[in-house]
Amino acid sequence: MKTHQQHFTLKAQQGFTLIELIITLVIAGILLSIGIPSFNSFLKNNQLTTQINELVTSINLTRSEAIKRGFSSTICKSDTRTSCGGNWTDGWIVFEDQDGQGDVDAGVDTVIRVYDELQAGNTLTFGAKNRITYSSQGIAVGFNDTFILCDNRGATEAKGLVVSNTGRARLAIDGNADGTVEDGSSTNITCP
C-alpha cells in the first residue's frame, strides 16, 4: 500500500515547470514565424490557380456554346453583369452574340454566364482586347493576345493565358527558365 508521501510525490511530477512551458512557447513561436509566410504564399498561389482555371473554363464555355447554339458567342469584360464594359478585373460575361458584334443586344442575345470580380486585389488584363467572339464553327480569328493575372507579388508569381489566333487558349509557360512566364510572342509578362 502506498503511503501518503508516495502519493504526493507522484502527483507533483505530472505537470510542466515554468521553464518547460516558456521553452515550448518559444519553439512554437519560432515554428509559426517560419510557417506563416509559407502558408500565405501557398494561399496566394492557390487563389491565382483557381482564378486562371475559372478563366480557362469560361473561354472554353464560350467556344462550346457558339458551336452548340449555331450562333456566335462572346466573352467580354463586364462591370455591370449585363453588358460589356469596365475592365477584366471587375468580372466578365459569356453571352450568345447572334450578330457577332461583341455587344449584348437586349431582347436578342442571351447572357449565358456571369463571372464575378477578382478577389484579394488581383488584376486581370488582356492587352487592348475587350472581348473574344467565337463563330458558330468555334473559331475566334483576330482575338489573339495574352491574359495576365497578377497579385501583389508581381510578374514572377503571375499567371498567363495565351489565346491563339484561332481562339484556342493555353497556359503561359516560362520557356526561357528565368522565373517569369512569357506571352504569346515569347516576351516576359509584366504586371500593372
Q: Which long-range contacts (CB under 8 A, 24 or more apart) does 87-94 make?
A: 87/124, 87/125, 88/124, 88/125, 88/126, 88/147, 89/117, 89/118, 89/122, 89/123, 89/124, 89/125, 90/117, 91/115, 91/116, 91/117, 91/118, 92/58, 94/58, 94/61, 94/62, 94/65
Fold of 18-171: minor pseudopilin epsh fold (3.55.40)
The confidence score (pLDDT) of residue 95 equals 98
Nearest Cα residue to 99 out of 79, 74, 128, 129: 74
Nearest Cα residue to 130 out of 173, 79, 178: 79
Which residues of the chain, if any, have pLDDT below 70? 1-14
Which pTM value belongs to this model?
0.82
The confidence score (pLDDT) of residue 14 equals 67
The confidence score (pLDDT) of residue 12 equals 52
Residue ranges covered by each domain of the chain: 18-171
The confidence score (pLDDT) of residue 169 equals 96
